[in-house]
Structure 1
Amino acid sequence: MNNRTEILDLRTSLEVLRGIDGQIVETDVEVDPEAELSGVYRHVGAGGTVMRPTKVDGPAMIFKNVKGHPDASVVIGLLASRERVGILLGCEKENLGKLLCDCALNPIMPEVTEEAAPCQEVIYRAEDPGFDLFKLIPAPTNTPVDAGPYITMGMCYATHPDTGLSDVTIHRMCIQSKDELSIFLQPGSRHIGAMAERATELNQPLPISISIGVDPAIEIGSCFEPPTTPLGFNELSIAGAIRRQPVKLHKCVSIQENAIANAEYVIEGEIMPGVKVVEDQNSHTGFAMPEFPGYNGHASKECWLIKVKAVTTRKNPIMQTVIGPSEEHVNLAGIPTEASIYNMIDKALPGKVTNVYAHPSGGGKYMAVLQCRKTVHTDEGKQRQAALLAFSAFPELKHVILVDEDVDIFDTRDVLWAMNTRFQGDRDIVTIPGVRCHPLDPSSIPEYAPSITDGGISCKTIFDCTVPFHLKERFVRAQFMDVDPDKWLK
């Protein structure tokens, strides 16, 4: 199977993984979606910034017996291994960022199909007796103090009221009542937010479809951010480029919008103009859900309200979910981050950065490791120029570590080796204080340091662990005989 062109939905992804040892496990033991499901997967393969003990690079997991949801199952951790992402996107794990970069530059736009959509095999309308999101959607809570059941892998698709241009992004959404969701839209950060704000100015609701359980190429592509994908750029076109064919959309049954035709679930609704929701209005815990830095996110008082009109599903649908601070979030956020950084640097300094890694300890957002190449004396200093470009390519980036081309950027031990043998703190640290970074960084608050004037302000830092060009010959690593070990290991 050519995975880049033949995996077009979640079910095919799962079948591919079933054929590879160690990539997926399934259980028929009943599990409670309220905190227990995530508690189990923490030990199976969550990784990321999840509190230890947790397992890194474990298998994905399918729960077939979910309490209160006899006809559904839940999959978690599908993208919690970089190797697994590579399998599902048909690419070596080290080159995923380059693949996404190429696909963002060569998009294939989605198409609306008139064929029967798998996502509409079963239809539930809000006016139907007994319609209840709590019963229809097996959305888990990550921890016992979550604001409620969260939809964490919903592909939110909407259209700008003025331009008619559509876009897809992922947001945290909490089930608030039988026909209402809250959606957290960080001001100015995502395209759906801009659409909702404009619809409110026009005093009209914004139709929105939320597709859950889709092709992993769509999930990864949906996580690009400006400036790589500016307002009006439809990220479904990146998934189209990955698969070398358009993503298929289908008209919704209750609103004037499209949804992803091959999804397991689609929630159709409208973002109500000017209506704000307290995220934890049902739990009153003060928390939302654990976010990618590894801490419980605080409940927002400024969530937008989605009034749900219908839910459509496949028969025996598969809910897909993610643990907020897990390795899965790292890959979802980090691989597009790598693509954005690599794209900008390669345009300005072609050939000087050979690869980029958004490190898991930064949740795929806070830290990047850049592999740099110096071939002539005038390349000295360009590595720091590359770091500045990285901050421009991805504004939420906080730390950049620069290493030479003989360092494996995907091996933290090797990166720290470079820091210990090719780095002096008094000459190789560059700090840029007072820059807007990411609001979920718990250290970016005025109480943490006098230099921080507002929440979300950080000191961006470059750690230059590259050898000065004129000293390269003194820093050659010990060379070993190049042999094929299979002769001795068979």
Structure 2
Amino acid sequence: MRDFIGTVREAGLLIDIEEEVSTVFEAPKMAYGTDKPLFFHKLDGGHRGVMNLTANRETLALALGMNSKTMVPELAGCRYDGAIVEEGTLQTVAPDLGSVPVMTHFPLDAGAYLTAGIVFSSFGGVENAAIHRMLVAGTDRLVARIVEGRHTYQLMKAAHAKGERLPIGIAIGVHPAVTFASCTRVPQGKELAYASELMGGEIRVKTLSNGVRVPDAEFVLEGYLTDQTAAEGPFVDITGTYDPIRNQPVIEITGVATKSNPIYHGILPAGAEHRLLMGAPYEPRIYQSVAGVTKVKDVLLTRGGAGYLHAVVQIEKQTEGDGKNAIMAAFAAHTSLKHVVIVDSDITIHDPDDVEFAIATRVRGDTDLMVISGVRGSSLDPSRIADGLNVKIGVDATMPLGKEGEYIRAGWDA
């Protein structure tokens, strides 16, 4: 991560903040007003930290070594086949979470939360990596939101079924490619290989005493996901509304390793980085899925849709009906998707005005809307009903084939 921060600074994209800033509300509030990376030199006096590290597509593309305009097709072609180089063991010392500048983000939050900690886990020869929000509940205890059915949850339940705790390593302050890979639904156990591919084909890892492999990081917390539970929440999630209080698993921290003068990474809940990291990893999945039914050009999970619930898919229609097929393919690829708009290749999907223009001039409500009720949606959507079901709407905002001449837009470009 340090190397990448240097790259961002050299590119003139980093804002250095030299004055003292509090981890309680103040640093998060400063991150809320921008999508520029912020480097705090004096968090609570003596700590260093960074926020908004990949909060816009320019810095994300820089981290992945890609062009922001062609990033989605490039990511859709990844093979999850990078090399993982083992470099021995990582020694830890007795934990003290009070020495980590964990932030408290909003007034009604349950407390200070780790938001950029990647939970690496291993059980039965299967590895996983994923970001989970974690409430600090003591000097050596966290309470983690482990979403039911996801891979960490499955490994945790498998360990508990055998009377064991799930061994984990929490990495904070990693290269953004590792963060991106951990936010992506990849084939089982391929997060490190995917991160390696994104970083040029090689990643170096060390093994903790509990057997979990972790990459280079500013902070590494060694521990176990137990079968104990405690109250977790309220917490602001992707939509900017408060997630409810739930009983969630307790993590016991048994050791910690830090770099000299470490740099803490915090992701602002519902901020630009959170939304980009939630949505952007799904764009290549949607791209691949839609490519199976028609010629796809680009995909965007929109910022206004919380970076997660709304998509715009740009296609080049081959046959009439491709728009609706693309709608179904998009919903199949991202089950939390709530609304999707399919547009032609002349529409700029990163321009909300242009997308609205397509809806205004190319959509007939009686023929171009697809309404699907009684389907599983996002647990983060406050409009969901009690059992988690919701309604999805697809909008076919494409021109009818053979009538393109009626939709020519005035301009001077050939």
Give the corresponding residue for 2:196.
240
Instruction: Provide the rounded CA distance (Å) in 1 between the counterparts of 2:191 and 2:75.
Output: 11
Give the corresponding residue for 2:18.
28
SS in 1 for 2:105: coil
Query: Do 1:398 and 1:461's aligned partners in 2 also have CA atoms closer than 8 Å?
Result: yes
Give the total of aligned pairs: 414
Aligned partner of 2:213: which letter?
Answer: N
Deviation at 1:111, TM superposition (A): 2.7
Instruction: Decide which of 475, 480, 485 is 2:407's aligned counterpart.
Output: 475
CA deviation vs aligned residue, 1:238-272 (integer Å, no higher than 9, x gap)? 111112222211011x4222221x20000100111
CA deviation vs aligned residue, 1:81-134 (integer Å, no higher than 9, x gap)? 11111122121212222222222x3422423213x86xx6xx4314xxxxx212
Instruction: Decide which of 120, 124, 133 is 2:93's aligned counterpart.
Output: 124
Report percent identity of matched pairs.
30
Instruction: Decide which of 227, 240, 243 is 1:297's aligned counterpart.
Output: 243
Matched, 1:335 2:280: yes
Give the corresponding residue for 1:435.
375
Query: Do 1:271 and 1:307's aligned partners in 2 also have CA atoms closer than 8 Å?
Result: yes
CA deviation vs aligned residue, 1:329-372 (integer Å, no higher than 9, x gap)? 122121211011111222x235x111111111222321110101
Query: Do 1:255 and 1:309's aligned partners in 2 also have CA atoms closer than 8 Å?
Result: no
Instruction: Provide the rounded CA distance (Å) in 2 between the counterparts of 1:380 and 1:19.
Output: 49
Instruction: Provide the rounded CA distance (Å) in 2 between the counterparts of 1:259 and 1:145.
Output: 33
Query: Do 1:220 and 1:333's aligned partners in 2 also have CA atoms closer than 8 Å?
Result: no
Unmatched tracts of structure 2, length 5 or more: none
Give the corresponding residue for 1:95.
70
TM-score (normalised: structure 2) = 0.96
Instruction: Provide the rounded CA distance (Å) in 2 between the counterparts of 1:371 and 1:235.
Output: 28
Give the corresponding residue for 1:268.
222
Instruction: Decide which of 97, 111, 126 is 1:133's aligned counterpart.
Output: 97
Give the corresponding residue for 1:16.
7
Give the corresponding residue for 1:48.
none
Instruction: Provide the rounded CA distance (Å) in 2 between the counterparts of 1:374 and 1:98.
Output: 18
Give the corresponding residue for 1:183.
144
Query: Do 2:123 and 2:167's aligned partners in 1 also have CA atoms closer than 8 Å?
Result: no
Give the corresponding residue for 1:142.
105
Query: Do 2:122 and 2:211's aligned partners in 1 also have CA atoms closer than 8 Å?
Result: no
CA deviation vs aligned residue, 1:36-79 (integer Å, no higher than 9, x gap)? 11012222x1xxxxxxxxxxxx42101111116x2x31100011
Give the corresponding residue for 1:393.
333
Aligned partner of 2:72: which letter?
Answer: G
Instruction: Provide the rounded CA distance (Å) in 1 between the counterparts of 2:246 and 2:83.
Output: 34
Aligned partner of 1:222: which letter?
Answer: S
Instruction: Provide the rounded CA distance (Å) in 1 between the counterparts of 2:15 and 2:353.
Output: 30
Give the corresponding residue for 2:347.
407
Aligned partner of 2:94: which letter?
Answer: R
Instruction: Provide the rounded CA distance (Å) in 2 between the counterparts of 1:290 and 1:111.
Output: 37
Instruction: Provide the rounded CA distance (Å) in 1 between the counterparts of 2:43 and 2:53.
Output: 18
Aligned partner of 1:138: which letter?
Answer: P
SS in 2 for 1:439: coil
SS in 2 for 1:278: strand
Cα RMSD (Å) of the superposition? 1.6
Q: Relative to structure 1, is the Cα distance of residues 169 and 106 closer, same or farther in structure 2, using a 3 angstrom cutoff?
A: closer
Instruction: Provide the rounded CA distance (Å) in 2 between the counterparts of 1:14 and 1:66.
Output: 17
Query: Do 1:329 and 1:363's aligned partners in 2 also have CA atoms closer than 8 Å?
Result: no
Instruction: Provide the rounded CA distance (Å) in 1 between the counterparts of 2:4 and 2:244.
Output: 34
Deviation at 1:418, TM superposition (A): 0.8
Q: 85-94 vs 319-328, which deviates more?
A: 85-94
Give the corresponding residue for 2:51.
76
Unmatched tracts of structure 1, length 5 or more: 1-9, 46-57, 127-131, 281-286, 446-453, 483-490
Query: Do 2:16 and 2:38's aligned partners in 1 also have CA atoms closer than 8 Å?
Result: yes
Query: Do 1:181 and 1:307's aligned partners in 2 also have CA atoms closer than 8 Å?
Result: yes
Instruction: Decide which of 12, 20, 28 is 1:38's aligned counterpart.
Output: 28
Aligned partner of 1:297: which letter?
Answer: D
Aligned partner of 2:332: which letter?
Answer: S
Query: Do 1:18 and 1:24's aligned partners in 2 also have CA atoms closer than 8 Å?
Result: yes
Aligned partner of 1:295: which letter?
Answer: T
Deviation at 1:394, TM superposition (A): 1.2
Query: Do 2:169 and 2:212's aligned partners in 1 also have CA atoms closer than 8 Å?
Result: yes
Instruction: Decide which of 275, 278, 289 is 2:231's aligned counterpart.
Output: 278
Query: Do 1:155 and 1:169's aligned partners in 2 also have CA atoms closer than 8 Å?
Result: yes
Matched, 1:380 2:380: no
Query: Do 1:34 and 1:144's aligned partners in 2 also have CA atoms closer than 8 Å?
Result: no
Deviation at 1:476, TM superposition (A): 1.4
CA deviation vs aligned residue, 1:203-228 (integer Å, no higher than 9, x gap)? 10111000011111111111112xxx
Give the corresponding residue for 1:283.
none
Instruction: Decide which of 406, 425, 448 is 2:365's aligned counterpart.
Output: 425
**What is the correspondence of 1:213-228 to structure 2 with a 5 Å cutoff?**
213-225=173-185
Query: Do 1:431 and 1:460's aligned partners in 2 also have CA atoms closer than 8 Å?
Result: yes
SS in 1 for 2:21: coil
Give the corresponding residue for 1:209.
169
Give the corresponding residue for 1:461.
393
CA deviation vs aligned residue, 1:310-343 (integer Å, no higher than 9, x gap)? 1101000000011111111122121211011111
- After superposing on structure 2, the runs of 4+ consecutive aligned residues of structure 1 that deviate more than 4 Å are none
Aligned partner of 2:148: which letter?
Answer: P
